[in-house]
Structure 1
Amino acid sequence: MSRILMLFVAAMLVAGLPVESGFAQSGAPAFDVEQASRAYIDTLQGAELEKSNNYFEGGYWLILWGAIVGILVDFLILQSRLSARFRDWAERVTSRKWLQPALYALPYVIAGFLITLPWTIYTDFFREQQYDLMSQAFGGWFGEQMIGLVISLIMFSLLIMAIFAVIRRAPKTWWLWGTGVISIFLFIGMMLGPVFISPLFNDYQEMAEGPMRDRIVAMAAEYDIPADNIYVFDQSKQHKRISANVSGIGPTIRISLNDNLLERTDPEEVAAVMGHELGHYVLGHTWRTIFILALIIGFGLFVIARLAPRLIERHGARWGIRNMSDPAAIPLLSLILTAYFFAATPALNSLVRITESDADQFGLDSAREPDGFAEVSMRLSEYRKIEPGPIEEMLFFDHPSGATRVRMAMQWKADNVENPVIQNPGKLEQE
């Protein structure tokens, strides 16, 4: 008998199986990953399931209609020669070529904001209210839209000024240098956003001392992540979504949790979310995302560099556009880029989804809370379709679906927890 046992152990070692797991569950019921997953997935049923599916599937059409609205607005600004008038105004204000694109950007951004305002009000306010995802009154929401408009005026003006400086100096290869310019702006936004922009919309307070903060500090310390600044921000005034992030670079690094996460979830769920967010930092996802986005944007600028001159040569007189270095060409460049990004939506979604999946795996390994991870994945189903088809998930999901995440958590549990048992989560609270 002992010889048979030794042969069995040797065979397990050769096969790469953990010896302990071969005996630990003897006498214990087998852990079925799919059954354990369904215990969570099936907590969303009936009217709540239908509401979640309708909200998310409606977003598929918003991708299309949003692109169409953006293209039509730019086309209207071109056809009405508003663009040429904005350029003429900028030239009257200053004779400095380098400053004219920045001045042009001011009326262009304001005009785009006003023309699309009815669409924005419907998609970002009334539709959110319809699905009980909006906490703000219209006045508060519109006030934040105005703050966003001011930020757009500043950032877009600086970006356009830099891009057109490149176009004037390198008319043949401007798209390549322009990609570098946009990458720099992405980096600056990453540096300054958490410190100067986010507090314009929410109040950030240091997280109170206690067991939850201690656990976050310990998790961060395990991976040498600075945890001197841990903030809680009041996003419940805007909506009910749970959220957290690790943001910034160098001295601006901060860990932020919204109040919904702390008030609507259990400590195990908070740990699971923070493990995921720490994963983004440790795995260098910000830098990887900037690099891949730069490649995607660079190809888009290359497309513009090939199409825009031909369109200007053919229609420029009617639109009042002189050449590629004319700021009046901005709506044309925007129109082409909007169409390009619409076509690239599946690629952009896949980029984010793969990154999020990597962070999910890291979060499971660091927090070791598979059931907490499954529970918080189900809470996200308030506004994300829980169980799409594989092609649907690939095309439209910029995060793994709830079902995918729950199955990942239960598979991790099966692989890493001794004598795992199937939980009966019951009906999760959906305040």
Structure 2
Amino acid sequence: MKKLVYWALAIYVLYGIGMAWYLLVVADISIPPQWKGTSADPATFLTPKELELSGEYSRWKDLLFFLSIPYEWIIYFGLLAFGAAQALRTWIEQTAKWFPVQSALYAFWLSLIITALSLPFDFAGYHLSRAYGVSTQSVTSWFRDRLTDFFVHTVLLVFIAAVLYWLIRRFGRRWWLYAWMLCVPFMIFFLFIQPVVIDPLYNDFYPLKDKKLEAKILGLASEANIPAEHVFEVNMSEKTNALNAYVNGIGSHARIVLWDTTLQRLNEDEVLFIMAHEMGHYVMKHIYWWLAGYIVLAFFGLWLVSRMMRWIVARWGRYMGIRQLSDFASFPLLLLLVSLLNFAASPLVNVVSRYEEHAADRYAIELTGNKEAAISSFQKLTKAGLSEVNPPFVVKIFRYTHPTMLERIVFLEEYAPPLREGR
């Protein structure tokens, strides 16, 4: 097992060199000739210095992403191969005798170990964003957010570990089916509590100060049948120069949110287009389609994880110190398999997400009818976040949940409003 870890590290180094060569040297991010000089060409709305910084920042950010994913897998594999998962299990069993306490302790310490080992990559991402002027967050504030992340993720991990290992012990091979059945109410519950419980842990939310703009946004919301009485503003300028807005939550907990950076850098027409886009997701019920899609993926994912875990534990369990599937020492293996499957499914998930985002763009331009404001808002989003207008293909399929800025602006350039009746 230790030899396998060393081989994995060697492959990881070679992979990292290959990805660096591809992203920093080979990848073509140039604008197609037919769109040079148009509003889709970043040279028309970015300064030469901003163009240079955008290319550098995006390439390094993409490289960090592609290095961090397999690094996470190596952490899980290393915990299994070097006996850390087994040693932690043994210590927990000696410390506590009651199953719920054992599962909570194991999940807590596992979360702490993974968070600590992942911290270098997390800090590198923060430092990169800060160095290029995208992040404005202080180190103290950044660490405070990481502590909040640790708290939220650990609570979820404790809950998941307790439920999953109880199901494994209670139902044996069919544990995955009962786990999937519990996913549905859990996902719905999380969608309800996120806007009012999770999000405020990171930022302060307050009613939009510009009441004239709020009235116009609520007017759009009324046309979209969104049950919202207020528009919320969040103070993100303390953390970033990037722009964003969103509508999240379901039912009575639906919340319209604008970052203060968006209000500072976009004019009224641009803000209304951005909000119309977010409302398009609500009108077309994308959140429910997202929920249904993840329920289907969870079904097949949990089934695959259960079969793969049984096979791996039967074949190599003794080398990893895993006595049986219900052994807590198998938890890093479960997390490893889930991470692998999530990454494998990400191109498909991103394709669906990009389709929904394009549909929301279409909805927004049809609702507002202001092509100039739509194009300029995307240009300002690119400028504020130093985003790539035309990213490499591999980056697009694995990272982009939205169409590229090139695709979004080209769509607006070519958009022709539908003819009204009688014309």
Once the two structures are overlaid, the 10-residue window that deviates more, 260-269 or 384-393, is 384-393
What's the counterpart of residue 24 of structure 1? none
1:135 deviates by: 0.5
Structure 1 stretch displaced more, 341-350 or 53-62: 53-62
How many residues end up aligned between the 2 structures?
385
- Is 2:162 the counterpart of 1:146? no
Q: Which runs of 5+ in 2 are unaligned?
A: 1-33
Is 1:230 the counterpart of 2:231? The answer is yes
- Aligned counterpart, 2:84: 82
| Aligned-pair Cα RMSD in Å | 2.5
Q: In the aligned structure 2, how far is the partner of 1:126 from the partner of 1:314?
A: 43
Deviates more, 1:257-266 or 1:125-134: 125-134
1:117 aligns with 2:119: yes
| Counterpart contact for 1:63–1:342, Cα < 8 Å | no
Residue type of the partner of 1:58?
A: W
**Per the alignment, in what secondary structure is the counterpart of residue 387 of structure 1?**
coil
Unaligned runs of 5+ residues in structure 1 are 1-31, 419-431
SS at match of 1:227: coil
Pairing of 1:138-217 with structure 2 (within 5 A): 138-217=139-218
Contact between 1:162 and 1:181, CA under 8 Å: does it hold in 2? no
2:172 match: secondary structure: coil
| Match runs of 1:232-247 below 5 Å | 232-247=233-248
Do the aligned residues in 1 keep the contact of 2:61 with 2:128 (CA within 8 Å)? Answer: no
* 1:131 partnered with 2:99: no
1:49 is aligned to 51
User: Retained in 1: the 8 A contact 2:214–2:230?
Assistant: no
Is contact 2:180–2:299 with CA below 8 Å preserved after alignment? yes
- With normalisation by structure 2, the TM-score equals 0.84
Superposition deviation, residue 312 in structure 1 = 1.3
Retained in 1: the 8 A contact 2:245–2:274?
Answer: yes
Q: Tell me which residue corresponds to 1:405.
A: 408
Say if 1:94 and 1:184 are closer, same or farther in 2 by CA, change over 3 A.
farther
| 1:268 positional shift | 1.0
Give the Cα separation in 1 of the matches to 2:143 and 2:219: 40
Give secondary structure in 1 for the equivalent of 2:99. Answer: coil
Please give the TM-score of this superposition, normalised by the length of structure 1: 0.83
User: Does the CA contact (< 8 Å) of 1:40 and 1:374 recur in 2?
Assistant: no
Q: Residue 63 of structure 2 corresponds to which residue in structure 1?
A: 61
The equivalent of 1:425 in structure 2 is none
Quote how far apart the aligned CAs of 1:177 are.
Answer: 2.8
TM superposition shift of 1:109: 0.2
Q: Which has the higher contact order (CA 8 A, sep 6+)?
A: 1
Aligned to 2:387: 384
Q: 1:249 & 1:110 partners in 2: Cα distance?
A: 32
Q: CA deviation at 1:260?
A: 0.6
Partner of 2:73: 71
The CA deviation string for residues 125-167 of structure 1, in whole angstroms up to 9 with x for no partner, is: 1111122111111111011101111111111111222222222
How far 1:399 sits from its partner (Å)? 0.7
* Structure-1 separation of matches of 2:334 and 2:400: 27
The one-letter code of the counterpart of 1:79 is A
How far 1:396 moved relative to its partner? 3.9
Rounded Cα–Cα distance in structure 1 between residues aligned with 2:136 and 2:104: 36
Deviations 1:77-112 (A, max 9, x none): 112322223323433444333553233101000011
Q: Which amino acid aligns with 1:180?
A: M
- 1:41: Cα distance to partner? 6.7
Can you list the C-alpha shifts for 1:357-377, whole angstroms capped at 9, x where unaligned?
111111112222222111111
Residue 236 of structure 1 aligns to a residue whose secondary structure is: coil
Distance 2:61 2:168 in 1: 36
Counterpart CA distance in 2 for 1:313 and 1:390 is: 39
Query: Which one has a bigger Cα radius of gyration?
Result: 1
Separation (CA, whole Å) in 2 of partners of 1:343 and 1:110: 26
Q: Which moved more, 1:174-183 or 1:69-78?
A: 174-183
State how far apart, in whole Å, the 2-side matches of 1:145 and 1:389 are: 30
Instruction: Give the direction of change, closer, same or farther, for the CA distance of 1:173–1:34 in structure 2 (3 Å limit).
Output: farther
Amino acid aligned to 1:152: H
Residue pair 1:374, 1:409 contacting (<8 A) in 2 also: yes
Distance in 2, matches of 1:100 and 1:39, equals 57
Q: Which residue of 2 aligns with 1:362?
A: 363
State the alpha-carbon separation in 2 of the partners of residues 54 and 345 from structure 1. Answer: 25
Report the CA distance between 1:321 and its aligned residue: 1.1
Question: In the alignment, is the contact (CA less than 8 A) between 1:34 and 1:407 conserved in 2?
Answer: no
Shift of 1:282: 1.2
Percent identity (aligned): 25
Letter aligned with residue 245 of structure 1: Y
Alignment of 1:211-290 (within 5 A): 211-290=212-291
C-alpha distance in structure 2 between counterparts of 1:93 and 1:366, whole Å: 61
- Partner in structure 2 of residue 308 of structure 1: 309
Alignment correspondent of 1:299: 300
